[in-house]
């Protein structure tokens, strides 16, 4: 018996993707973070950051929580703040799905949507600037700051990291994860490296992300590819980086649905797409672990929409070697 929905966060199962990778000579395992009550891996840091803030006294019953989020973190915090009877304001941008906005309002969150792009032609820096202004203007405001809050990565270190070690029987050779905000990647990899010193850490990023290189344009899928390098990032902890694009992520989501009956979101798809790219160079008999961090219902207007997928396909084809940007002779 659980005391409340917050107690249901974590202890997600690991499944073998035995049908999707049936003909490969490696074993691919997936931790089902999309089964958290809020539908994403962000339930963990939202819960942990709030609990640690309450424990330390930084947060009290009069606090007004503020956060910048492209979607899932906002929803996770809205759920947790409602449980704790705390006011919550989410600073979002035009890329957030309409369903997410509706869900935030149903949770009772205040929503402020920025309109202007920043100097990188993204929205994140504009959102952060807005958060800092609200932090000064709202009485008892507390910005959790998922981008540099150590309780973010620690929630994954003590959460999924510990759970994986208990759940997995035998060795692990590769950890392949989407790089969304880095907190999960850093926390999980740090804990697993203690148990599996030879583990290779592979970071997946959507093309046009700023995590590991300079900007070249805005991405299309909300929640993938950060526009600001988070303070928790340690490049030395990452063995390999793999780029995927929107279309490749979408195809991988459909593969998960078709082969495994898993209705997953874009971050999940990007990890699967990266594994598919890596397979030719991974030694036979290796064990690969990934996380499926988000549910597909958040992406009905993106990945699972025919017109959006056609747009993503055209962009993908334009980037292939020999492409002439869609023009014909």
Q: Are residues 48 and 21 in the same domain?
A: no
pLDDT at position 122 is 84
Position 326 in a domain? no
* Measured distance CA(104)–CA(50) in Å, rounded: 17
pLDDT at position 201 is 97
pLDDT tens for each residue of 59-84: 999 999 999 987 899 999 999 999 99
> For residues 294 and 34, is the Cβ–Cβ distance under 8 A?
yes
Entry pTM: 0.90
Position 121 in a domain? yes
Q: Are residues 81 and 10 in the same domain?
A: no
* Measured distance CA(190)–CA(195) in Å, rounded: 9
Question: Average pLDDT for consecutive 10-residue bins of the chain (329 residues)?
Answer: 95 98 95 97 98 98 94 95 98 89 96 93 90 97 93 97 96 92 88 98 77 36 46 76 92 98 95 97 97 93 89 86 55
Q: Are residues 66 and 166 in the same domain?
A: no
Which residues have a Cβ under 8 Å from the Cβ of 212 and sit 6 or more positions away? 203, 205, 235, 241
Position 22 in a domain? yes
Q: Are residues 89 and 188 in the same domain?
A: no
Q: Are residues 129 and 173 in the same domain?
A: no
pLDDT at position 227 is 45
Buried b (16+ CB within 10 A) or exposed e, 161-173: bbbbeeebeeebb
pLDDT at position 120 is 82
Q: Are residues 135 and 85 in the same domain?
A: yes
Tokens of 34: 């999309």
Identify the H or E element spanning 30: strand 27-31
Position 321 in a domain? no
Q: Are residues 241 and 133 in the same domain?
A: no
pLDDT at position 320 is 81
Q: Are residues 165 and 23 in the same domain?
A: yes
Q: Give the residue numbers spanning the domain of 287.
A: 5-35+157-316
Got the DSSP string for 33-50? GGGSTTSBTTHHHHHHHH
> For residues 131 and 66, is the Cβ–Cβ distance under 8 A?
yes
Position 323 in a domain? no
pLDDT at position 11 is 98
Domain final position from 98, 115, 143: 143
* Measured distance CA(153)–CA(44) in Å, rounded: 10
Of 166, 157, 167, 178, residue with least CA distance to 290: 178
Compute CA 299 distance to the chain's CA centroid, rounded to the nearest angstrom: 13
Q: Are residues 176 and 302 in the same domain?
A: yes
Report the CATH number at residue 73: 3.40.50.1100
pLDDT tens for each residue of 92-123: 999 888 889 999 999 999 999 999 998 888 88
The structural domain count of the chain equals 2
């Amino acid at each position: 018996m659980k005391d409340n929905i917050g107690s249901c966060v974590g202890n997600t199962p690991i499944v073998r993707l035995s049908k999707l990778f049936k003909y490969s000579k490696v074993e691919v395992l997936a931790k089902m973070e999309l089964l958290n009550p809020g539908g994403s891996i962000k339930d963990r840091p939202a819960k942990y950051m709030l609990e640690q803030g309450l424990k330390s006294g930084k947060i009290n019953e009069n606090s007004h929580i503020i956060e910048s989020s492209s979607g899932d973190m906002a929803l996770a915090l809205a759920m947790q703040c409602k449980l704790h009877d705390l006011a919550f304001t989410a600073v979002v941008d035009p890329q957030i799905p309409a369903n997410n906005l509706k869900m935030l309002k149903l949770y009772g969150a205040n929503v402020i949507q920025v309109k202007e792009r920043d100097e990188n032609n993204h929205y994140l820096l504009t959102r952060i600037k807005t958060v800092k202004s609200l932090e000064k203007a709202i009485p008892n405001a507390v910005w959790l700051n998922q981008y540099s809050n150590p309780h973010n990565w620690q929630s994954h270190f003590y959460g999924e990291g510990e759970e994986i070690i208990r759940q997995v029987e035998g060795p692990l050779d590769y950890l392949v994860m989407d790089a969304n905000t880095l907190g999960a990647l850093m926390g999980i990899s740090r804990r697993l490296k203690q148990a599996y010193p030879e583990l290779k850490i592979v970071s997946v990023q959507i093309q046009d992300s700023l995590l590991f290189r300079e900007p070249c344009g805005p991405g299309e899928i909300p929640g993938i590819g950060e526009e600001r390098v988070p303070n928790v990032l340690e490049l030395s902890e990452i063995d390999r980086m793999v780029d995927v694009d929107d279309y490749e992520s979408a195809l991988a989501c459909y593969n998960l649905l078709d082969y495994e009956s898993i209705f997953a979101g874009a971050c999940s798809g990007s990890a699967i797409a990266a594994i598919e790219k890596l397979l030719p160079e991974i030694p036979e008999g290796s064990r690969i672990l990934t996380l499926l961090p988000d549910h597909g219902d958040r992406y009905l207007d993106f990945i699972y929409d025919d017109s959006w997928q056609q747009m993503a396909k055209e962009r993908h084809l334009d980037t292939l070697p020999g492409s002439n940007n869609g023009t014909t002779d």
